[in-house]
Amino acid sequence: MDKQVIVVNKSTVPVGTADLVSNIITDALLERKKKFSCPVVSNPEFLKEGAAINDFMKPDRIILGSNDKNALNILKEIYSPFNRNHDKVIEMDARSAEFTKYASNSMLAARISLMNEFANLAENLGADIEEVRIGIGSDSRIGYDFLYPGCGYGGSCFPKDVNSLIYEAENKAGVNLSILKSVQEVNEAQKLILVKKIRNRFGDDLSGLTFAIWGLSFKPNTDDMRSAPSIKIINELLNRGAKVV
């Protein structure tokens, strides 16, 4: 084995994908009677839409999942220009790296749904959720990131990863992720919270009323409409007879 080819997977994939790919490559090499090393490294990306370039240039962490030390050393050398301030590389096995990506997005999704539940409750109790947000965010264990109430999360990552982790847990591990199921449920209900407020003011029949929707994408600084709350809001308004601009 005088040469090495490294396969790097940066996607969000089910836990065990790197092992599956590695087995496929190994079988193919055996069939072709080729002898060289081909480790598969899981290197999940943590890039936010609207800030992807900055996140790549200044990553919070660089996760490398593999048991092949030579492959890890090569990737650490590749990442060295983005790892100068302090060591951001975290080494682990491939399955743990794959799971870390799912766990990170699911935890952030849970934080959003919990904050939205707090906002709905605060409104009913006469509390100011903005003041509450400042109060709880000042706790160093909590912080202020992803602590803003709104119409629910959308996009391609959070809904997909939460659904995927729930499916993986039930169908591959026999585990019921009840908290994540609630996160998903709360998020879908939150997408219609503005419609609920509109109905409380104007009634169920919105015929003859015109509503302007400001902000269609699922988050600022993107043009991504995937799972955007605006889609659900617009459809509900149209179904109740309203006009939308």
Q: How far apart are CA 82 and CA 77, in angstroms?
A: 10
Coil/strand/helix, residue 7? strand
Q: Please give the structure tokens belonging to residue 139.
A: 């706790």
Q: How far apart are CA 142 and CA 118, in angstroms?
A: 15
Which candidate in 157, 162, 186, 193 is catalytic?
Answer: 157
Q: How far apart are CA 196 and CA 79, in angstroms?
A: 49
Q: What is the dihedral of CA 25, 26, 32, 37, to 10 degrees?
A: 90
Q: Is the dihedral of CA 210, 211, 216, 220 positive or negative?
A: positive
Nearest to 99 by CA among 16, 204, 206: 16
Residue keyed to tokens 């709360």: 186
Annotation says 38 is catalytic: no
Answer yes or no: are the C-beta atoms of 100 and 64 closer than 8 Å: no
Answer yes or no: are the C-beta atoms of 179 and 169 closer than 8 Å: no
Amino acid at 117: E
| 152 φ/ψ sector (left φ>0, alpha ψ -120 to 50, else beta) | left
Give catalytic residues, as residue numbers. Answer: 157
